Amino acid sequence: MSLFEPFQLGDLTLRNRVAMAPMTRARANAAGVVQPMTATYYRQRASAGLLITEGTNISADAIGSPLTPGIFTAEQTAAWRTVTDAVHEAGGAIVMQLWHTGRVGHSLVRNGVLPVAPSAVAIAGQKHFTPEGPKDYEVPRALETAEVWATIDDYERAAENAKSAGFDGVELHAAFGYLPNQFLVDGANQRTDEFGGSVENRARFVIEVMRRLVRVWGPSRVGIKLSPTIPYNGITDSNPLATFGYLLGQLNELPLSYVQLMQPLFPIDAFPAESWPRDTIEAFGPLTRATVMANGGYDQAKAEAVLASGKAQLVSFGAPYVANPDLVERFRAGAALAIPDRATMFGGGEHGYIDYPTGTSVSHQD
């Protein structure tokens, strides 16, 4: 099995097994509308088997960081259509990652409104980027039960808008400490209603959202991103194997497209407990019936190895795609990779976004 082999993902024929992972680039305008350069950005990278967009806010209440795009207004939806058209004209496939940041935000980014979360538990030991610089996280406002159901409705409307915008599917961002992840883990979810307490109740939010997404999109067009072993953004759980094992078992009842699993991005000695699995793909991959997409720290050699092992069928790459729009071609040629400019990762204009050259005569990434 090779990175360059085609892959049948439901009724989508992917030209290879390389996916571009979702990456926030903060190039939308203040109204959450992507700009013409965004269509260029994704078209440049359309040789990937599958493109996954940056996290896209499902509602105004989902916003946590400035200049991130949305999919909850007609203007936002129309702008995304220019992106999907550009990708499809280049022969690519693209899905939208649906995003609600929950407590990973700040009132300075939200017109003075506190972020919301399953419970009034703040993220400790980290700061959030705001227009006034890094700030400590605030204690979020706990969602009322009716508001939780209204948020699930927001996901469904966002999925419908993504379909109208011409995407090939959607992915639920349930990883890296954002709202669905907050509901899942007992370190962030202290609710006593139907969305808290037991593993079954804590998983209810994600399961209900996924049911709605499948209802909109049908079989093999809905994916999910999970990070069972990443403690970033204050995410801890007393038993990740039990929590995410139950979730994946329930999701097996739905006709999903793929499960994207993030490997740990931090030293394992920083894990909250010794019981946390050290290899996410090995521990959780066998628990899903869906296609497994491996993510997190992969280079070409590691990607080929995980495919050859049969533990994953697709591999997604994030940071390498920033400076290497033709990443697939560089992998195929055994060429060096360009070095991304971290100063232009987030925010700004075309520089550091769509002006990275293609070709193989570039410096090697250290």
Residue 241's CB is within 10 A of a number of other CB atoms, namely: 16
Separation of alpha carbons 80 and 165, rounded Å: 6
Q: Which residues are catalytic?
A: 178
**Which of 269, 211, 272 lies closest to 240 in space, CA to CA?**
272
Separation of alpha carbons 230 and 237, rounded Å: 10
Separation of alpha carbons 199 and 57, rounded Å: 27
Concatenating the DSSP letter of every residue in 308-343 gives: HHTS-SEEEESHHHHH-TTHHHHHHHTPPPPPP-GG
Segment holding 42, helix H or strand E:
helix 36-44
- Interstrand relation of 314-317 and 170-173 (parallel, antiparallel or unpaired): unpaired
Cβ–Cβ < 8 Å for 260, 295: yes
- CA 243 to centroid of chain Cα atoms: 19
Structure tokens at 231: 């403690």
Structure tokens at 94: 């693209």
- Interstrand relation of 12-14 and 7-9 (parallel, antiparallel or unpaired): antiparallel
